[in-house]
Homo-oligomer: A and B are copies of this chain.
Amino acid sequence: MPVGALQLEAGGYLPEVVLGYETWGTLNADASNAVLIEHALTGSTHVARGASDEDGWWDDLVGPGATIDTERYFVVAANMVGGCYGSTGPASPAPDGSPWGSRFPFVTIRDSVRAEARLADALGIRRWHAVLGGSMGGARALEWAATFPERTARCAVMACGAASTAEQIAFAQAQVAAIRLDPHFAGGDYYGGPAPEAGLGIARRIAHINYRSEPELEYRFGRSAQAEEQPFGGITPSARGRYAVESYLDYQAEKLVSRFDANSYILLTEALVSHDISRGRGSLEQSLGGLEETEFFIAAVDSDRLYFPEQSRQLAEALPGSVKVHTIETPLGHDGFLTDVHQLHDDLTQAFFPHA
């Protein structure tokens, strides 16, 4: 969906922005049943099965008869500006016909939310019944409530705080540096040539370790060797076989590299680094304390060591009224917002999606 030109917070300008999106269900007559689901860093718009039979990343939450029942709600998922799932991004042609590449401007979560508001306009949705997301999707949902409180009746923020932390910035820096170090990166103008797959793969490894937990990795892999490989054989270290955990991370890296553009990874990582709900709005309390029009649902994963539950608690405390932090209990870590979101079914149903 074309949503026009976008003047960006950090000073850049995109003359023509298209937002890729998917929908499920039917918008009702007074457009009061619309739900926006915001994807995480490398997520797509494919939240759930629907037009495509392909598994969605939140099938447990969205579908016919699910927590967000697509027979009752009209569900929309839009790709972030700068992404690579249908929205204008670095691989899209710039006005001169060549890919934007290194010229693609710095986009923030807030910029994307402003573009998403135009998509809502075009779809005839004045006010969302609810906006939900986890991780970077949670940052987007929160930014919706802060930027357009009158358009956000309900807002669910899972596994994400009010701003990206020093540690999140630090791990992001190492990831972006690894992509830029890849000789194939070519300063960001690699389209038409080989992609910086090795660099993107390293970024994914760093990220993925932090998306899981130490006990899970130890339980699943320990010091096991990968199949027939000999991690301890090899006259030089570069000649040795792999441990199972290394093979697992190679697989995670390969999977991402085959589906994601490295420039989009940098763009969205930088957008997430910029996440700060208070930017230009005063203190955290000043930024959030007045959002009386929106009902909030905050959730954290107990074993999350990237978006610590404490950050969700701080967010909840800054919101108006008394907002509870719901907990997903899993040893998995941050990814629990994907793998174990079903644990929120009862609470989320009661809070946001009561049965008719």
Among the listed B12, B163, B173, which residue makes an inter-chain contact with A236, where contact means beta carbons less than 8 Å apart? B12
**Contact of A222 with B166 at beta-carbon distance under 8 Å, contacts A174-B206, A267-B237 already known:** yes
Q: How far is the CA of A177 from the CA of B105 in the complex (A)?
A: 29
Among the listed B174, B180, B246, B273, which residue makes an inter-chain contact with A209, where contact means beta carbons less than 8 Å apart? B174
Question: Which residues of B have CB within 8 Å of A6?
Answer: none
How many chain A residues sit at the interface, stated as a range, is: 35 or more
* A235: min CB distance to chain B, Å: 5
Verify if A27 is at the interface (C-beta below 8 Å from B). no
Question: Which residues of B have CB within 8 Å of A240?
Answer: 10, 106, 270
A112-120, A151-159, A181-189, A348-356: which one contacts chain B? A181-189
Question: Which residues of B have CB within 8 Å of A249?
Answer: 170, 173-174
Verify if A96 is at the interface (C-beta below 8 Å from B). no
A270 touching B214 by the CB < 8 A rule? no
A236 touching B104 by the CB < 8 A rule? yes
Verify if A202 is at the interface (C-beta below 8 Å from B). yes
Question: Which residues of B have CB within 8 Å of A274?
Answer: 231-232
Verify if A305 is at the interface (C-beta below 8 Å from B). yes
Q: How far is the CA of A173 from the CA of B250 in the complex (A)?
A: 10
Verify if A178 is at the interface (C-beta below 8 Å from B). yes
Verify if A312 is at the interface (C-beta below 8 Å from B). no
B188 touching A174 by the CB < 8 A rule? no
Question: Which residues of B have CB within 8 Å of A222?
Answer: 165-166
